[in-house]
Every structure is written in C-alpha cells, then in structure tokens.
Structure 1
Amino acid sequence: MDEMYTDPVPLSKGINMRELLNSATEFHIDTDFKKKKQDSMFNCDEDLFPDLGDVDSDSEDVLKSLEESTKTKMLDCPEYHSFDELSKQMIDCVPSGDVKMLILEEGTGPIVPVDAEVTIHYAAYWEKANIPFDTTLTMNAGEPIRIRLGKGKFLPGIEIGLTSVRGPTARLLLLLRPAAAWGPRGVPPRVRPEPALFSVALYAVRDVQAAARFNDLPQEEQCKYEVTMRTVNSLHTEAKNLFSMKKYLKCIKNYQQSMSVLRVSLPKNSTEEEKVKRLRINAYVNLAVCYYKINKPKYVLRMCENLDNITDIEKHCKALFYYGRGYELLGKNDQAAIYYKKALKLEPKNKEIGNALANLDNYNRNAVLNEKKMWQTVFKTVEEKKIVYDVDEDFQNGVRDMCQSMAGNDEYAKFDLPNGLSHDEVECIKDLCSKFDGLVVLEDGEGKRKKVSIVKKS
C-alpha cells in the first residue's frame, strides 16, 4: 500500500480555494488512478511535479509536451540565477513585498478593474524549475480560463497583479510569497510553503460593472474626460462581446449608455474632442448594425441620419452601406442601390457591398420577370380551338347559309330543326350560330324527343 503512493497521485475531486485559504480542507485520493489511461496532457487531474523522480516514458512524454506548450503560449520560465536576483528586476505590487511583478508586454487600455472578468493562461514554477507544477494549460481542454475578479475564488497575488496592469492584453511575471498564494503553510505535499513564480498571459478583460460604477460617481467626476473615456471604452468592449454572442438587444443598451456618457464628457482640447467624436460615430454606426440585425429598418435609418449630423456621411463607407440596408429592408430598392453604389465607390473591392448590390439586382430582375408573368396571366388570350364535328360538309354549309339568312332579317324569326339530330350535329349548329349576332339555339326535351330551334331575336 505504501509503495502505491511513492509517486504523486491525483485527487478524486478538485480543490475548493475558499476552504483551502480559510479553513481546514479534506483531500480525497483517487485510489484507482493507476488503472486510468492518461493519454492527454490536458487532463485536469494530472499531477505535474518537476521532481517526479523515476518516471516512465509516458510521463516523460507528457512533461516534454507540457514544456513545449508553455513555450508556445509564451508561458515558459525565464532565465535567472535565483528568485532573489529576479526580484531585483521587479516592482512591489503591495508594500509587504508578497507580490512582485515584472511586465513583459505592456497591455493597452485602462488598468484592469478589481471586479472585471478576465481571460488568462498561467504557469506556476518553483525556483529553478523548467516545468510548471500548476498551469491552466492542463485545464479547460487547454483553452484560457475565464475568472471574475473580486470574488475571492482565485489566488490573491494573481488578482493583485492583474489589477496592476493595463488590459485587455498583457504578459507579466508574478513572484508570490506563500501568504499571497496558497497560504503560509502551503498544501503539502503538492504545494510547498515556498515562493512561486507565475508566468501570466492576459487575453481579454470585460469590465461588466463599468456603467454601474459610472452612475455611482458624483456629477463633477462623471464629466471628467478620463472617466468618460474609460467608461465608454469598457461599454464598447462589452458590447462587442455581446454582439459576438448575438445578444443584440443588450448590445444596443450598451451603445445607448455610451452615448449618454459621451454627452456629459468635457474634453479639454481639440485632440480630446476628436476622440469623443470618433466614439460617437462608432456608437451610431454599431447601433445601425444592431438594429439591422433585429430587423428595425426605421431605427437603422435614424442612426444613419444622426451620424450625418456629426460627420460627412458621404465619406463613411459603413454608414452608407447601412443606409442602403435600411432602405432595402423597407423595400425601397432604388434608394438602397444608390447608397450601395456610393459605398462601393469608396471601397471598390469590398465583397459585402458587391454582394449586396448583386443580390439587389437579382431581386429587381426577378421582380420584373414575375410582374411580366403576372400580367401575361391576367391578359392571357386562349387560342381558339378548332372544333371538328362528325358531320359532312354539306350539312355545315346548309346550317351556315340558314344562319346568314336569319341574321340578315331584322324581325323576330324562329326555325325548328327536325328531330333525330345527332349530338355532333347539334353542337355544330350551336357553334355556327354563336358566330352571328342575335342568333341563339333553344333546346327542349331529352333524347330522341329533343326539339332544337334557332331563334333570331329582333
């Protein structure tokens, strides 16, 4: 039994970080771990110690693969002599020195808010180790993990480090003392009570509370240019995320909120005024796109009209394109074509505009063809069928002469035909009489007793 645990073993369930940091925690060992096939480095139950001792070839392959992955994701451990030497290149994030940071790639945008949702990868190393003992590369099928900061569900030192850099992208090293990581006692035997180096890649930041935070500020703070820019950029970033998930109504709400924030902004110079204007243009254009997605053409056109009041829309390809979209939704294809052509003139190689014009031309062409077919159906002339009767020519000529004689008579006249006429003979008489004005055929009775008469109405 003791030999079974000479190598590190996985736990049967994950670690609850809140319990781990604040109270006693029970660990449940998976006693069947050696029976399970470990064929992927992305198994979140993998134990990844750099000091495994004697390992088999499969384990070596896993560790080699992991080391390569950290290099690919730029999470590999940097070269240094010792943590003490490395710390001299770092800055303290907290006065105690429990969290030291070295920014490898400066991020863009504002400082990451303390309550933001971040998407990250990290790899944690003991001193002078090349293979991480803990990494997100073995979690979530190798995809970056998404974390909401400020909820106490993540290592304090990493949260402190992340909220000390600019987002949405950045790469940094964090040297954490035990107090800022898993606690001063560690989690033996897996986690030692020693400093650990974290290589962190920040991929995305969602400031989900930007609008609420802005609303809580006093009015004099809300008007500050820096405050409005930070809030609007966060709202637009969140709107892009909502748009990618096809949550268009929520996306519209974010852009509308950003317009409200921009109205109170007080830029101090022409450069800041230009930035405010650019964000307003961006908001109106994206609102037009969102309204198009939910089939609200009148709102699409309204956003384009508002845009026309703050910039020369004739020079804005996307605005012209959605002017066309709005008119097309309303069925005003001639006006839509005008705006599509204006947009295409600005960007002749734009395939989306070209396709929109092509589809519109096809629609108009089909509409003309369908209209032509409709009127052809309405005014369709049925070609007269030449009826052939089983009667001789002399009979037909005699009936025709009689019809001409009766038709030329202005007075009322009636001619009774003899009994015993065949069906074809009667039909022939009817057909010939129909060609003369005022002549009608009257039938009375059935069968051999049927009486047939030709009448000339006066």
Structure 2
Amino acid sequence: MDKVFQDPVQLSKGINLRELMTSATEFHIDMDFKKKQSGMCLNMDEDLYPDLDDGEDSDIEDALKNVEESTDKLMLASPEYMSFSELSAKMVDCIPSGDVKILIIEEGDGPLVPVDAEVTLHYAAYWEKTKIPFDSTLTMNSGAPLKIRLGAGRILPGLEVGLTSVRGPAARVLLLLRPAAAWGPRGAPPRVRPETALFVISLYAVRDMYATARFNDLPMEEQRKFEVTVKTVDALHSQAKEIYAKKKYIKAIKNYQQSMSVLGLSQPKNEVEAEEIKKLKMIVYVNLAICYYKIKKPKYTLIMCENLDRISDLDKHCKALYYCGKAHQMLGNNEEALIYYKKALRLEPKNKEIGKPLAELDSYIKRSAKNEKVMWQNALKSVPVDKKEVTYNVDEDFQNGVRDMCQDLAGRNEFSKFDLPTGMTKDEVECLKSLVNSFQGLTVLEDGEGKRKKVSIVKKMIS
C-alpha cells in the first residue's frame, strides 16, 4: 500500500476551493488513480496553461512568451522591479486588517462600483517578482474581457473588496491580496501558494443592474438627496443606452420614465445642483422623444418636445428639433416639419442627416403645390401652361455636389459667395440654376460668355 502513494495522486474531480475552505470535505481514493485526468483550474473556469505538462520545452517557452506579450499589450504586466513590501508602501488599505491593499493607476470619473454590479474586466495575478501570471482572464473567454457579477461569490473576496473601492466605469488598479483575502491561509498547493499575490486589473465597464431596487428601498429623505438622484439616474441611463442599442425601445422608454420619476423627487440644495437636475431632465425628454418616434408614436414625441420647451428653449436643441420635424412629417404636417428641419439645420449647418430630409421634403412640398395648382386650374376650367419636365445632361455626382454646397450656404447667417470653376457646359449651368432656386436666399450670378463665363452662387442676407 505504501508504494501506491510514492507518485503524486491525481484527483478524479477538481476541488472547489470555496467548499474546501468553508465546509467539511471527504476524499475517496480510487486505486486506479494513475489514469490521466484534467488538472485543477485556479479560477474554477479554465486552467492558465492546460497543455504545458505534456508539451516540449519549446512549446512551453512559446506559451509563456505569448502570455507575457499579452499582459504587456493590455497593460496587465507586473511591476516586478519592486518587492511587495516596497509596493505596499505606496498602497492604501481597503479594509482595516490590511489583507487587501490598493494602488489606483487610473480611476474613472463615475461613482464607486456597486457591490452587486456587473463588471467587465481583465486581470493577471502574480507572485512576488515574477513576470508570468499564475492566473489570468487572458486565457478565458477566447481572450475577451470577462463579465462578472459581484456579490455572487464568483471571484475572490479580496477582489470584490478592491473593485468596490474604485470609481468606474473604466479604471486600472493594483490589488495586493494576502492569503486570508484570497485562497485562504493554506492556498491550494502545488499551483496556488499560501502567499501574498498581486492582481493587476483593467476595468472596462460597470453595469449597475439593481439601482432602481436599491433606490426604492431607501427612505424618502434619502431618495430626495442630490447624490442619490444622480447615481440612480446615471445607472438607469446606462441601462437605457444598452437597451436602445438592441432596438428594444419600449423597455428603454420605461427606464427613462423611471429616471424622470427619480428626478422629480430630487431636492437640490443650491443652484449648481438645480442646474444639473435640469440638464438630466432635458436629456430624458430628448431621449424619450426619440424612442417614441422609433415606436411610431409621433404625438408622444411632440409632447416630450413641448415638455423640453417648458424647462429650456427648444430652439437650442438640434436633436429635439430634428425629431420634432420627423414627428410632424410622420403625421403629414409637412409645412411644420419643414420649419423644424430648417431650425435644426441652422444649429448644425453641415449635418447631412438633417440636410437630406430637408431637401427631400422641400422638393416634395413644391411638387405638391404645383400639382395642387394644376388641380385647381382644371377645376376652374382654366388652361394651364404646359411646362414639360426639363432634363439636363449632367451626371448624378454633379447634382449631389451642388445640393451639398447649397445646403451649406443656406445654413449660414452671413453673406457668402462661392465661385464655380470656368468651362461649365450649358446643361450644367441650367441644372445649377434649377437646384439653387429650391433654396431660400440663394441666387446664381453669371459674368461673361462661352468657356470664360464665370458662375457664382451667392447667399443673400434675408431681412
């Protein structure tokens, strides 16, 4: 029997470290234990170097080199030039026992990471003065950052303590964990030593999934505090953006409605806080207007724009004006839509997203007016003037270029003149005149004859 245990014993099933440290554990020895079994994973998900035991030395070196290069590239390399005692002198304690120490390299400008948030991160864990991590997320999830729910027991206690001491959503930190805050005083030999470990962490995103529930559990006095309002609204808006990106507009609307309810309860203490609450309300109204348009409820879009106008001048909000125009166009109020599009374009003259529907709607209105005139002439038995549709021998790129130039000039508030190159054909000049006539305040000037004729587009001041 003694000879049986001369060689290392392979466990048939990996050890759950949490169960090992917190509960009684039984081991059953299979006498046929020498069959090949998979090794224990340090992170309970995937071994850092699963194939190194059976590979050649060159393969091992290549694998280690790749891991080292990855940590350098993602700024997860260990500061191996200093001992842990030197490093800890630069750190602060996260808990009084000193089992978790932190050094913030880069901190985000948001709130502290909530204890039950979903975080997206990469980390690499090192022993003292080593270059190759003994544990890392770089070998999991096909190399993509890992999403982890805090408070669910999926990561080491010291990591949770450290992460909730950082402001997100993006940050880079160093955490020094003593065994008591990591794998326990005994470690998990032979891979996990009962020693202090350094975690280099890059935090990419924080998703506060339970902001509303926490807010609802607070007493009314707490709910009205400015800090609570901003934190809750930021979380709701972050969720709404994700939901909107997935085109789940109704769910996004519910988030923004909850946000407005939270803002309605807030009691700012000074003008600075009051202004911030006002800005957040403006964001909510604009985003609600967009969401209602997306689900084809243009009347609700207009109501949100009216609400925005009550607390701020609607004419200063380009996006709101644009969706007012879209809503009116959806309702068939083309003249109203044209007014809002033009207001939006004045705020952002080079915005092609506004210029295109404006030009199309303007052209549509003119065609409709022409058709209406013909209808009334027929109704009154008058003889309409037969005007055939004129076509010009010019390419589409020329026409598109002229339209873009006219949109730019029409949006300016000052006198402007644009000289076109000489040598334009007769059809190009006539096409140019036709296109320019569709923009208010623009006119075409001609000087000279033949190939030397100079043609200019002029933006006049409208009094």
TM-score, normalised by the number of residues in structure 2: 0.70
Q: Identity of paired residues, percent?
A: 63
Q: How many residues align?
A: 363
> In the alignment, does 2:197 pair up with 1:196?
yes
Q: Distance in 2 between matches of 1:320 and 1:29?
A: 74
CA distances 1:375-426 after superposition (whole Å, capped 9, x unpaired):
9xxx9xxxxxxxxxxxxxxxxxxxxxxxxxxxxxxxxxxxxxxxxxxxxxxx
User: Match for residue 68 of structure 1?
Assistant: 69
Deviation at 1:201, TM superposition (A): 1.0
Contact 1:178 1:194 in 2 (8 A): yes
Which stretch shows the higher mean deviation, 78-87 or 267-276?
78-87
User: Match for residue 431 of structure 2?
Assistant: none
| Structure 1 unaligned residues grouped into runs of 5+ | 35-43, 380-458
Q: Distance in 1 between matches of 2:321 and 2:71?
A: 46
Q: Indicate the structure (1 or 2) with the bigger Cα radius of gyration.
A: 1
Flag the 1:97–1:122 CA change in 2: closer, same or farther, 3 A: same
User: Match for residue 352 of structure 1?
Assistant: 353
User: Match for residue 286 of structure 2?
Assistant: 285
> In the alignment, does 2:27 pair up with 1:22?
no
Q: Distance in 1 between matches of 2:20 and 2:194?
A: 13
User: Match for residue 228 of structure 2?
Assistant: 227
Deviation at 1:60, TM superposition (A): 2.0
Deviation at 1:367, TM superposition (A): 7.0
User: Match for residue 145 of structure 1?
Assistant: 146
Flag the 1:181–1:53 CA change in 2: closer, same or farther, 3 A: farther
CA distances 1:66-116 after superposition (whole Å, capped 9, x unpaired):
212112211111244211111111111111111111000122111111111
Q: Distance in 1 between matches of 2:185 and 2:374?
A: 85
Deviation at 1:351, TM superposition (A): 2.4
Contact 2:150 2:160 in 1 (8 A): yes
User: Match for residue 216 of structure 1?
Assistant: 217
- Specify the SS of the correspondent of 2:254: helix
Flag the 1:258–1:45 CA change in 2: closer, same or farther, 3 A: closer
User: Match for residue 86 of structure 1?
Assistant: 87
Flag the 1:47–1:321 CA change in 2: closer, same or farther, 3 A: same
User: Match for residue 184 of structure 1?
Assistant: 185
Contact 2:12 2:37 in 1 (8 A): no
Contact 1:225 1:267 in 2 (8 A): yes
Q: Distance in 2 between matches of 1:140 and 1:181?
A: 22
Q: Distance in 1 between matches of 2:340 and 2:98?
A: 61
Q: Please show how residues 75-154 of structure 1 align to structure 2 within 5 Å.
A: 75-154=76-155
Contact 1:344 1:350 in 2 (8 A): yes
- Specify the SS of the correspondent of 2:231: helix
Deviation at 1:22, TM superposition (A): 3.3
Q: Distance in 2 between matches of 1:124 and 1:92?
A: 19
Deviation at 1:29, TM superposition (A): 10
User: Match for residue 238 of structure 2?
Assistant: 237
Flag the 1:279–1:16 CA change in 2: closer, same or farther, 3 A: farther
Contact 2:68 2:77 in 1 (8 A): yes
Q: Distance in 2 between matches of 1:55 and 1:187?
A: 26
Contact 1:19 1:25 in 2 (8 A): no
Flag the 1:308–1:12 CA change in 2: closer, same or farther, 3 A: farther
Q: Distance in 1 between matches of 2:358 and 2:57?
A: 64
Which stretch shows the higher mean deviation, 277-286 or 61-70?
61-70
Opposite residue 312 of structure 1, the aligned amino acid is: D
Contact 1:337 1:357 in 2 (8 A): yes
Opposite residue 240 of structure 1, the aligned amino acid is: K
Q: Distance in 1 between matches of 2:329 and 2:304?
A: 15
Which stretch shows the higher mean deviation, 347-356 or 300-309?
347-356
User: Match for residue 316 of structure 2?
Assistant: 315
Deviation at 1:271, TM superposition (A): 1.1
Q: Distance in 2 between matches of 1:359 and 1:32?
A: 69
**RMSD value over aligned CA atoms?**
3.6
Contact 1:48 1:132 in 2 (8 A): no
Q: Please show how residues 389-428 of structure 1 align to structure 2 within 5 Å.
A: none
Flag the 1:46–1:372 CA change in 2: closer, same or farther, 3 A: farther
Which stretch shows the higher mean deviation, 313-322 or 56-65?
56-65
Q: Distance in 1 between matches of 2:37 and 2:136?
A: 24
Flag the 1:13–1:47 CA change in 2: closer, same or farther, 3 A: farther
TM-score, normalised by the number of residues in structure 1: 0.71
CA distances 1:21-43 after superposition (whole Å, capped 9, x unpaired):
53449899993889xxxxxxxxx
User: Match for residue 31 of structure 1?
Assistant: 36
CA distances 1:334-369 after superposition (whole Å, capped 9, x unpaired):
221221111111011112212332453566578789
User: Match for residue 334 of structure 2?
Assistant: 333
Q: Distance in 2 between matches of 1:353 and 1:249?
A: 25
Contact 1:18 1:153 in 2 (8 A): no
Opposite residue 31 of structure 1, the aligned amino acid is: K
Opposite residue 329 of structure 2, the aligned amino acid is: E
Opposite residue 261 of structure 2, the aligned amino acid is: S
Q: Distance in 1 between matches of 2:26 and 2:304?
A: 57
Q: Distance in 2 between matches of 1:299 and 1:373?
A: 36
Q: Distance in 2 between matches of 1:152 and 1:212?
A: 20
User: Match for residue 258 of structure 1?
Assistant: 259
Opposite residue 324 of structure 1, the aligned amino acid is: G
Contact 1:108 1:167 in 2 (8 A): yes
